[in-house]
Structure 1
Amino acid sequence: MNTLNGILPLNKPKGMTSHDCVMKIRKLLNVKKMGHTGTLDPDVDGVLPICIGRATKVVEYMMEYPKTYEAVITLGIATTTEDATGQVIAKKDITSPITPKQIQTVLTEMEGKIKQVPPMYSAVKVNGKRLYEYAFEGKTIARPQREVTIHKIELLTDKGIDNHQRSFPIRVTCSKGTYIRTLAVDIGKKLGYPAHMEKLTRTKSGPFILEETCTFREIEQAVLNEQIQTHLHSIDKAVAHFEKKVVSDIVAAKIENGTVLPQFKHMEKKRYTIYNTDGELLAIYIPHPEKQGLMKPEKMIKVKGN
């Protein structure tokens, strides 16, 4: 088991932190080197890719992936946490029906680069302390705005909203660091009502989709049957969006030593995955920041003797 390498796309259940999930899988697989690729709150379920063994070297690249979520927004009620777990702090009746077209118009207005203020109940650090720690002390402090990108947002129903049907589902594809809770509150403001996020599921993280994830029960069964490898995806899948270069055995030997090399011809991309002739991913190279015409390893995946 200790030689396992690859990416295990977990269907994270509600009620567990992302860290809890890593610890449980570490125990199941008896593997120490492991990490997840983007925190999900305990009450959020869905796609949580877990990098195992050598795949932990590409966690930072996977963190950059756009993510897709399906959320349910409830109008007329605001909470302390911006989701369904918090205390109600504002209520407002929906006095006139809101059509699907009105909702979609507001959603479309949210696409592109937007500014968000992280919620108080979040893990963002301010002055060396996490915001939720201030919140638990009953404090509200100034938080720096952050810029995020909403690539696409769409309404998933053809029904309108009134005082009897206050909730509606949406699908959002966004950059890392986006708070869907805060997005729900801002959508509510544009519609003229307090709002909160009632439910959230991550359906996609980069190339990994919900349909190919594994539950803990499936992982436990695979371990018992010694078939866990069938659930692991290769490191290649995580970095397939970088341009690929295959090098000779002579150059591969130099790369395994982390050698600075002449750039490839027409090297215009920021990152390149370097493979040997056996199809093994050796390293991720970037143009040298100080030495023109040269390139250097940004991340060594396979080193000499390993």
Structure 2
Amino acid sequence: MRDGILVVAKPRGLTSHDVIQKVRRFLGIKRIGHAGTLDPEATGVLPLCIGRATKIVEYIQDRPKTYVAEWTGGVATDTEDQSGNVVERINGLHLTWEEVTSAFTSFIGPYAQTPPMYSAVKVKGKRLYELARQGKEVERTPRLVTIYDLMILDGNLEQDPPRVRFQVRCSKGTYIRTLCVDIGKKLGIPAHMSDLIRVESGGYHLEEAHSLEEIEEAAASGKVEELISPLEEALSFLPSLTLSKKWADKVIHGAALPRGFSHMPWQTGEKIRLVSDEGRLMAVYQVVNGEEIWAKPEKILFTEDPVDRGYAR
């Protein structure tokens, strides 16, 4: 089985863990992880890391994500999305596109977002959604997130309640349902997110995602490897450095790279991918620019350990 990324088009009604369990059964392997959770009612891109690719989950999920969402004004729910119970409603709103556009675009850039109660964020060791199900609400610390781009696609402000469909590109950890609530607050009205599709995550787009039915069929016919994007491509957004065979053998064992190893103007703290002269992704290193050490290992992705190179079944 090839190590790499299997991009799934998550359907509505399944948790991200449900998707992993199904794919594990299709492929007959356990070593699978996802790179960024999607709520059960959300659909779209869910990258799954297969085999050694589970080691690079953090690099993929740290990248910006793009969503197409629907905002509904005048109605608030306890979960901030369409799956919750209505807790507030205002009928007969009269909104203009000028004020709606101004409210939406005001969130472009960094902003402090308070995680919703129905989320997996932990407070004093407890998941917020566990407390929410007990009817409890606790104080949450706002987190700084970034909205890189936000564009209104279409909508209807004349209907009751008014709805707006928009596309947003944002940083890791951004709750789009909370963004919808905050846009409502900007307009002085209750609001919630009534639909969510993730169209891009980790550099993978909805157009290249595969349905669970397609994956099951490919696995049954022995062609599932054709759906898996190679591990070597998964970190293509990081700068690369090609190693000689001598240094590739040392990197396998986690050797640091000495000062003067590269004469490129790498910045301290920068992450680079190390590739063998055969094109195999060996490791991710971080530049430290120390007196003796130029770069140190962060993730060793190829080793001589047969267990590491294989799959737990």
TM category (shorter chain) comes to over 0.9
In structure 1, C-alpha distance between the alignment counterparts of 2:166 and 2:289, rounded to whole Å: 42
From 36, 43, 46, give the equivalent of 2:44.
Answer: 46
SS in 1 for 2:210: coil
Hey, what does 2:184 align to over in structure 1? Answer: 188
From 74, 77, 91, give the equivalent of 1:76.
Answer: 74
In structure 2, C-alpha distance between the alignment counterparts of 1:83 and 1:165, rounded to whole Å: 14
In structure 2, C-alpha distance between the alignment counterparts of 1:291 and 1:119, rounded to whole Å: 46
SS in 2 for 1:189: helix
Deviation of 1:49 after TM superposition, in Å, equals 0.2
Hey, what does 1:275 align to over in structure 2? Answer: 275
Deviations 1:172-198 (A, max 9, x none): 100011010100011111122110000
SS in 1 for 2:250: helix
Residues 106-125 of structure 1: matches in 2 within 5 Å? 106-125=103-122
Deviation of 1:24 after TM superposition, in Å, equals 1.0
User: Which 5+ residue runs of structure 2 have no aligned equivalent?
Assistant: none
What is the one-letter code of the residue matched to 1:278? E
Deviation of 1:92 after TM superposition, in Å, equals 1.1
In structure 1, C-alpha distance between the alignment counterparts of 2:93 and 2:274, rounded to whole Å: 61
What is the one-letter code of the residue matched to 1:58? I
User: Which 5+ residue runs of structure 1 have no aligned equivalent?
Assistant: none
In structure 1, C-alpha distance between the alignment counterparts of 2:169 and 2:14, rounded to whole Å: 23
Hey, what does 1:18 align to over in structure 2? Answer: 16
Hey, what does 2:35 align to over in structure 1? Answer: 37
Q: Is the 8 A contact 2:47 2:202 kept in 1?
A: no
Hey, what does 1:214 align to over in structure 2? Answer: 210
The verdict on how the C-alpha distance between 1:15 and 1:90 changes in structure 2, with shifts beyond 3 A counting, is same
Deviation of 1:165 after TM superposition, in Å, equals 5.5
Q: Is the 8 A contact 2:2 2:230 kept in 1?
A: no
In structure 1, C-alpha distance between the alignment counterparts of 2:135 and 2:160, rounded to whole Å: 33
In structure 2, C-alpha distance between the alignment counterparts of 1:113 and 1:141, rounded to whole Å: 24
Residues 123-134 of structure 1: matches in 2 within 5 Å? 123-134=120-131
Q: Is the 8 A contact 1:272 1:286 kept in 2?
A: yes
Hey, what does 2:295 align to over in structure 1? Answer: 295
In structure 2, C-alpha distance between the alignment counterparts of 1:73 and 1:14, rounded to whole Å: 18
From 133, 136, 141, give the equivalent of 1:144.
Answer: 141
In structure 2, C-alpha distance between the alignment counterparts of 1:19 and 1:152, rounded to whole Å: 29
Deviation of 1:162 after TM superposition, in Å, equals 2.8
Deviations 1:245-296 (A, max 9, x none): 1111111111112111214223326111111111001111112486554311
The verdict on how the C-alpha distance between 1:104 and 1:151 changes in structure 2, with shifts beyond 3 A counting, is same
What is the one-letter code of the residue matched to 2:17? H
Q: Structure 1 residue 254 and structure 2 residue 250: aligned? A: yes
Aligned length: 302
Q: Structure 1 residue 239 and structure 2 residue 235: aligned? A: yes
**Quick one: percent identity of the two aligned structures?**
41
Deviation of 1:163 after TM superposition, in Å, equals 4.5
Q: Is the 8 A contact 1:72 1:169 kept in 2?
A: yes
TM-score by length of 2: 0.92
TM-score by length of 1: 0.94
Q: Is the 8 A contact 1:82 1:182 kept in 2?
A: yes
Deviation of 1:241 after TM superposition, in Å, equals 1.2
The verdict on how the C-alpha distance between 1:241 and 1:129 changes in structure 2, with shifts beyond 3 A counting, is same
